Every structure is written in C-alpha cells, then in structure tokens.
Chains A and B, each alone.
Chain A
Amino acid sequence: MSLDPSFVGRTYPPTAPYQVGREKIREFATAVGATDPAHHDPAAARALGHPDVVAPPTFPVIVTMAAGQQIVEDPALGVDYSRVVHGDQRFAYTRPVVAGDELVCVNTIEEVTNRGGHGFLTTRTDVSTVAGEPVVAVWSKIVVRGEA
C-alpha cells in the first residue's frame, strides 16, 4: 500500500507536553553507554552551566517518536509500522535537552514519495518548551518496505 502524497505540508496540532525526567535521561544514557557524569549527576551538569542532567545527543528521538505516533497511526496515511525502517535522521539544536524540560512537538510532513514499491516519509518536528523556547528541530525519514 503506497503512502498518500497529499499529506505533504500538513502540520499537526502541538502534542501534549513531554516531561523530561532525570531517571529517563540516566536510563537512556546507560542504554547507549554514555558514561559522561553530566548525563547522570546533576552536580556535574550544573558545573557545565545546565540546571540538571544533560541528555545524550540522540535522546530527543524519544520525545519526537512518541509525538510521531500522531502521524504513523493516522489511518488515512496508511503506515504499517512492522514494515518501517529508518532512512535519515537529523537534529539541529538550539540547546541540549535537560531534565526538567517540558517539551511540546509540532510535526510537519515535509515529503512523501513512493519508489520501487517502498514508501518514504520525511517529517520535521519542532521541539520547544511549553513557554515557547525552541530547543531542537528534528528531521526523520522513514521507509515503509513494500511486500516482497
């Protein structure tokens, strides 16, 4: 089933705030083997000028992937998640994510193409605090693999 190109340009309503927890950052850092003390110890993070532990660079994907459910679960778009592999990923930071952030995502569909039986979907997610301070812009391309 191919993806509907008429979705290009669609922007979804802002997601409910995601509360970034200190333990979640620690858990994620441990899972990826990021041992820098600033990911685990608030005092080490404060020494670098941050209010609390600092997330590793790819942590925002947790927030944007959760927010992206509003796209991949949109029945009109028709994404079969078990057939999804990741194509491209980009993070452009205004500042790192830190524990205590309350983050809101705004998803925009930038590109939809169908090629060689596969569907390609590029989204841009603008992540900002509930107060409207930009934190990071995140681009993702997913590939929905066609039936063999």
Chain B
Amino acid sequence: MELPTQTYRVTRADLVRYAGASGDFNPIHWSDRTATKVGLPGVIAHGMFTMALVGRALTTWAGAPDAVVDFNVRFTRPVVVPDTDEGTEVVVSAVVKEVTEDGLTRLDITATCLGEKVLSQARALLRTAR
C-alpha cells in the first residue's frame, strides 16, 4: 500500500531556525563560503532537518505524534538550499511493507529533492494509531 505523498518546502530561513533549535551550527548549513570550500555544491540542509521532515510524514501517516518505534535513514545526496524565497522542496512517500502480528507497521520510505533520491535505506516501524 502506498501512503499519500507529503511535500515540504525548505528555505534558508528554515535552516537558520533549525540550527538554533537543534544547536547544530555547522557553517555548511548557512555559509556558502564554507560549504563550497569543503567541496559541497552550496549550503545544504542539515541531514537531521530532512530526517525531521520525514518524521513529520511518519506521524502524519500514523495519525499519532508518538507512533514511531524505529526509524533509520542514510543520507546519500545533499539537499542543496538556494538563497531564494522559494528555496527547494523535499518530497516524502512510503509504502507499507508489512503489518506485524503485534500491530506494528513497517514502511519503506522515499525522499527526493528535484527528482533525485536524497535518502537511501530509509525505513520506519510505526505503532498503529490508537
């Protein structure tokens, strides 16, 4: 079963807000100068911000904010966030792989930016909503 696709816009302002809230002030998430110096195409979103967006998709699909039991991702491609009003978009979809006897749902997740996968091996185990 395929779950409804979730689309999230990401701008530089989101990265600044996330840096403040998370305490991750790595300059590759706000300084083009630093990002390009270490060989990145530009300022990139925190991997953990992308994962948090996927977390939003998970809790939305589960219909419960506390449903996530296990959640893992591999960050394969950076989400480059241009310094524009539009920023970029992360699109999250998933398929249900299995519903276990004890009421857990196993998902395989896909997250893309500009049509390219930004995560691999993205999986979650959710408790079925009460």
**Interface of A toward B, CB cutoff 8 Å:** 24, 27-28, 30-34, 36, 38-39, 48, 50, 54, 56-58, 61-62, 65-66, 81-93, 96, 139, 145, 148
Query: Lowest 6 CB-CB distances: which A-B pairs, in order?
Result: A90-B72, A86-B47, A31-B21, A32-B52, A57-B55, A36-B65
Q: Please, what's the 1-or-0 string for B39-83, where 1 marks a CB less than 8 Å from any CB in chain A?
A: 110001011110111011011000011101111111100100000
Would you call the interface of chain A mostly helix, strand, loop, or mixed? mixed
Task: Give the residues in chain A near B48, CB-CB below 8 Å.
Answer: 58, 61, 86, 89
Given that A48-B65, A65-B22, A82-B34 are contacting pairs, would A57 and B72 also be in contact in the complex, using a CB cutoff of 8 Å? Answer: no
B108 to chain A, nearest CB (A): 15
Give the total of B residues in contact with A, Cβ under 8 Å.
42
Which residue of B24, B56, B65 has the most chain A CB atoms within 10 A of its CB atom?
Answer: B65
Total number of residue pairs linking A and B with CB closer than 8 Å = 117
Please tell me if B1 contacts chain A, counting CB pairs below 8 Å: no
Judging by beta carbons under 8 Å apart, are B22 and A148 in contact? no
Q: Tell me, in angstroms, the Cα distance from A85 to B24 when the chains sit together.
A: 12
Given that A86-B75, A148-B39 are contacting pairs, would A58 and B28 also be in contact in the complex, using a CB cutoff of 8 Å? Answer: no
Judging by beta carbons under 8 Å apart, are A57 and B71 in contact? yes
Q: Tell me, in angstroms, the Cα distance from A86 to B26 when the chains sit together.
A: 11
B16 to chain A, nearest CB (A): 9
A-facing residues in B1-38 (Cβ within 8 Å): 8, 14, 17-18, 20-24, 26-28, 34, 38
Closest to A37 in B: B65
Judging by beta carbons under 8 Å apart, are B70 and A90 in contact? yes
B37 to chain A, nearest CB (A): 8
